[in-house]
Structure 1
Amino acid sequence: MSEGQARAVRTVEDARRIVEQRGLSHVKVGMFDIDGVLLGKYMSRKKFFSALESGFAFCDVVLGWDSKDELYDNVRFTGWHTGYPDAALRIVPESCREVPFEGDMLLFLAEFDGPAGELCPRGLLERVLARAEGLGYEAFGSLEYEFFLFQETPESIREKGFRHLKPLTPDMMGYSMLRSSVHGELYHDLLALAESMDFPIEGLHTETGPGVLEAAIGVDTALAAGDKGALFKTFTKVWAQRRGLMATFMAKWSPDYPGQSGHIHLSLRERDSGRSAFFDADQPHCMSDVQRHFVAGQQRLMPEFLAMFAPTINSYTRLIPGFWAPTEATWGIENRTCALRVIPGSDVSQRVEYRLGSADANPYLALAAAIGAGLYGIEQRLEPDEPVTGNAYEQQHPAHQALPRTLWDAAQRLRASRPARELFGDAFVEHFAATREWEEREFRKHITDWELDRYFEII
């Protein structure tokens, strides 16, 4: 295997060969945690070769703490009660990527194995995709992310207390050729990084808001789409900080601007024939029976699975009318005011866009929930409600389409969901619901500026 062929790696032997050819003493190995944060380390060549054959161990505290390294006190899998032992992981050889700013360095992803595998986000998506294969389908997906760029550093934002931050550019200038041309070198750098690390961007433009961009990652099989989305978020932040900037994917950083979405485009293809399972030229909007049942499952289970698409306290500040974020489990044909947008097309383009999710969601969990719900609809032959025409925000919708309004309520709906337990397993549902309850409890410990302004003097 020659230089520059990291993405040709498929087997354990391929992985050994490329490391040997490059003369690397160490490689990077990382895994994504429950919040979609990439964790890992440099691993020596000797240790890496051993891990390729028989796996390796990593402290399971990474499944027992939150995004600020605070230890959960309400999960069963790990904690002080277990002593935080090691958990088993396996290297994913085909995940090999160049790390273009570290010379010949390579990055390999790993995923949890054994009991920890029941909680592993990447493993969860694999289990859902195995279900799709059992039904005769292969799932394809692509992710779109909005993110804000700031002329700030990790030090400056803390010195400022996360206030009065300076965006990369001022004003509301969506799809601006002016902005993208003035900062052309910056755009080119990001596009080049995405190509070299195999999360290629098929569309990149400014969105409405100061310093906000939207990137559409190219379509791929759903597991590869999860890898690409998770790596895109991580290395976009790395790319920005290496240039004296900062990128944020939090759902909403300011009440003055729209939130940041993480839209998911999905389709199914028949494994035997290779044809689209969603496209039927003889049906209205070319929408096959399979796609109709798939959309019905997504619509029916959206309130129960919301925590997997909106996993933070901040997520729920985005889900308000008039800010391009859905507020009920609605669907429509080419309707961007709905939570589910069916996009009519051809055998290669007929799909559904899951518009509910925010940019802060773990890509693996969001894909697993969106695909899993659709498969449930196919299995149960569910029928969707009537599609929405016109502005979904201004219409009355059935009570069963209402979404939970807080993270705590969303966690309760997930915990009580029989379809969630059937699709994702009891261990994952219990663990993930507990982590979201922890997140809400942590928030309740704090006094907001709004509360001080509203109550300090007058009450």
Structure 2
Amino acid sequence: MAQENDDFILLGYVDLDGLLRGKYVSREKFQSWQKSTGTFCSAVLGWDMRDELYDNAHSGWFNGFPDDPLRIAEGDGTRLANGRRFYLMEYADGKGAALCPRRLAARVLARGEAMGFQLKAGFEYEFYVFRETPESAKAKGFRNLTPFSPSGSCYSILRTATHENFFSGMLLLAEQLGTPLEALHPEAFPGAMEFALTPAAGLQAADRAVIYKTFAKAWGQQQGLSLCFMAKPISGMSGCGGHTHISLWQGEHCAFFDKSAQDGLTQTARHYIGGLLRYMPELMALYAPTINSFTRLAPGFWAPTGANWGIDNRTCALRVLGDSGKSKRVEVRPPAADANPYLVLAAAHAAGLAGIEEQIEPPEPLAGNGYADTLQAERLFPRSLEEAAARLRGSEMARRWLGDAFVEHFAKSREAEVAAHRAAVSDWELERYFEII
């Protein structure tokens, strides 16, 4: 860790796609922002992850891309390896606050607290590591990339010991950033990895997720490696989940656990599960926000295809686990590693709380293969981002809990992603049609 240096502070805002965007500001400007608010170009809510503008009601040529008021998120920030501090920003009160992912998650958490519940959550991410720089990967057309390991070997101690520098570097980075890990290990395919962040209360869980994921990618590039969090970067291999573990608390008491009840679940937990299941298909655009996300949601690849649940059953959309008040939780498995953690948190918690409000009873938990489960049509997931955006726009529940402005804006942002994909010529099309047709 370099010597502390606070002449400039790095500020970052998490956009709709979960990307950190920001800039260095002088210590004097940072202190001024701390006392009141600062400003940031509204274009960050009007373009996609590649800075392509899309039609929306918030920011564009029609209003000249004005600045929006932003504020520094509470807390002491994160000390970076260069000795400077990094602070998260969020939209201050104003039109942008309705669209800001962090403010949205905070509003859902506040509604839960008004109902008497606090949330704890832990994010775990699967990802692939390649012995490629972004430049070398692009030069290869992102094909035939060299994986970090020559073969898959899930939980392999051989891999962990052989690549000691990589694993120790990832662990040290988490310690330096104040984003503690519970686990880090190789996964089942060449170059596949997974890390699990230690659970935290409320917004802190999503803060840790976006900070560690971003700076881990940067650390990897400094080592000549690419850490890829695409939902499915390689055909024929499993994709990358962004599984989210959630529990509700009332003070020091876990609101999900009752030792004497069936499966150790309280009625509150059952209603929360009921809400998660009922509204999951309507909220899938928040769990699977890219075109690529939907290639992951296929039978036999460790990702669910419909809204079902089971006790410690990894073939289901919801996996309930834990045998005590400390460990009882629901693992929400549909989110991909490419999803925005604030939006995942907002969507899942809103659905669960709606289940409590509406006293939604879940079906019986599934004991067998979730892919063989015959689900009613309304329980099946959308098959594409286009369908998911339409389902979100038509969701009365999403509008009640997330707001009309956010639902309309986010749906438009996904439709813009669909339009960009539709205009592109894929490798599959070229290989299939170029010579023969």
Task: State TM-score, norm by structure 1.
Answer: 0.93
Match of 1:336 among 314, 321, 338: 314
Partner of residue 206, structure 1:
186
- Given candidates 342, 357, 363, the residue that maps to 1:379 is 357
Q: 2:5 touches 2:84 (CA, 8 Å); kept in 1? A: no
**Contact persistence 2:313–2:319 (CA under 8 A):** yes
The residue that corresponds to 1:179 in the other structure is 159
Q: 1:191 aligns with which of 143, 146, 171?
A: 171
Preserved contact between residue 124 and residue 197 of structure 2 (Cα < 8 Å): yes
**1-structure distance, mates of 2:27, 2:339:** 33
Q: CA deviation at 1:93?
A: 3.5
Kept in 2, the 8 Å contact 1:29–1:41? The answer is: yes
Aligned to 1:15: none
- Aligned match of 2:290: 312
Offset at residue 71 of structure 1 (A): 0.8
Flag the 1:95–1:132 CA change in 2: closer, same or farther, 3 A: farther
Q: Deviations over 1:114-169 (max 9, x none)?
A: 21011111111100000110000100000000111111111111111111110111
The alpha-carbon distance between structure 1 residues 75 and 95, as it changes in their structure 2 partners (threshold 3 A), is: farther
Q: Which of these residues, 371, 389, 392, is aligned with residue 414 of structure 1?
A: 392
What is the DSSP-based 3-state SS (H/G/I as helix, E as strand, rest coil) of the residue aligned with 2:90? strand
Report the alpha carbon displacement of residue 426 of structure 1 after superposing the two structures with TM: 0.7
> What is the Cα deviation at residue 195 of structure 1?
1.1
Unaligned runs of 5+ residues in structure 1 are: 5-20
Structure 1 residue aligned with 2:99: 119
The AA in structure 2 aligned to 1:52 is Q
SS at match of 2:431: helix
Offset, 1:454: 2.2
Deviation at 1:384, TM superposition (A): 0.8
Q: Superposition pairs for residues 256-271 of structure 1, below 5 Å? A: 256-271=236-251
Tell me how far apart the structure 2 counterparts of residues 205 and 25 of structure 1 sit (CA, whole Å). Answer: 37
Q: Report the counterpart of residue 277 of structure 1 in structure 2.
A: 255
Q: Does 1:392 align with 2:374?
A: no
Q: How far did 1:23 drift?
A: 6.0
1:22 is displaced (CA, Å) by 5.3
Q: What is residue 231 of structure 2 aligned with on the other side?
A: 251
| Corresponding letter in the other structure for 1:361 | A
* 1:65 aligned onto 2:47: yes
The equivalent position to 2:88 in structure 1, one of 109, 112, 126, is: 109
Q: TM-score, normalised by structure 2?
A: 0.98
CA contact (8 A) 1:149 1:246 kept: yes
Instruction: Write out per-residue CA displacement over residues 410-449 of structure 1, whole angstroms, 9 at most, x where no aligned residue.
Output: 0000001011011111111010000000000000001112
Task: Provide the secondary structure at the position in 2 that maps to 1:94.
Answer: coil
Name the structure 2 match of 1:12.
Answer: none
Alignment partner, residue 69 of structure 2? 88
TM-aligned CA deviation for residue 369 of structure 1: 0.6
Structure 1 residues 343 and 50 mapped into 2: Cα distance closer, same or farther (>3 Å)? same
In the other structure, the counterpart of 1:17 is none
Does residue 1:154 correspond to 2:130, yes or no?
no
Q: 1:23 to 1:391 in 2, by over 3 A?
A: closer
The 3-state SS of whatever aligns with 2:418 is helix
- Confirm or deny that 1:143 pairs with 2:143: no
SS, match of residue 25 in structure 2: strand
Counterparts of 1:329 and 1:221 in 2: how far apart (Å)?
Answer: 26
Tell me how far apart the structure 1 counterparts of residues 96 and 373 of structure 2 sit (CA, whole Å): 44
Q: Distance in 2 between matches of 1:358 and 1:22?
A: 36
Letter in structure 2 aligned against 1:108: Y
Kindly indicate whether residue 143 of structure 2 is the aligned counterpart of residue 163 of structure 1.
Answer: yes
The answer to whether the Cα contact below 8 Å between 1:33 and 1:62 also exists between their aligned partners in 2 is yes
- Inter-partner Cα distance in structure 2 for 1:249 and 1:324: 16
Aligned pairs for 1:124-135 within 5 A: 124-135=104-115
**Aligned-partner SS, 1:140:** strand
Q: Deviations over 1:58-81 (max 9, x none)?
A: 111111111111111x21111111
Q: Deviations over 1:79-106 (max 9, x none)?
A: 1111100001001140500102x1x200
Letter in 2 for 1:213: M
Check conservation: 2:174, 2:181, Cα contact below 8 A: yes
Which residue of 1 is the match for residue 37 of structure 2? 55
Structure 1 Cα separation of the partners of residues 376 and 363 of structure 2: 9
CA displacement, residues 331-390 of structure 1 (integer Å, 9 cap, x when unaligned) = 111111000011131111111000111100001101111111000000110011222111
For 2:226 and 2:285, the matched residues in 1 are separated by 26
- Counterpart amino acid of 1:453? E
**Structure-2 separation of matches of 1:418 and 1:447:** 36
What fraction of aligned residue pairs are identical, expressed as a percent?
48
Contact 1:287 1:344 in 2 (8 A): no
Hey, what does 1:30 align to over in structure 2? Answer: 12
CA contact (8 A) 1:95 1:109 kept: no
Amino acid at match of 1:377: G
Q: Which amino acid aligns with 1:110?
A: M
- Once the two structures are TM-superposed, the CA of residue 239 in structure 1 deviates from its matched residue by 1.0
- C-alpha distance in 1 between matches for 2:272 and 2:237: 33
Match of 1:13 in 2: none
Cα RMSD (Å)? 1.4
Which amino acid letter does the alignment assign opposite residue 177 of structure 2?
Answer: M
| Equivalenced residues, count | 436
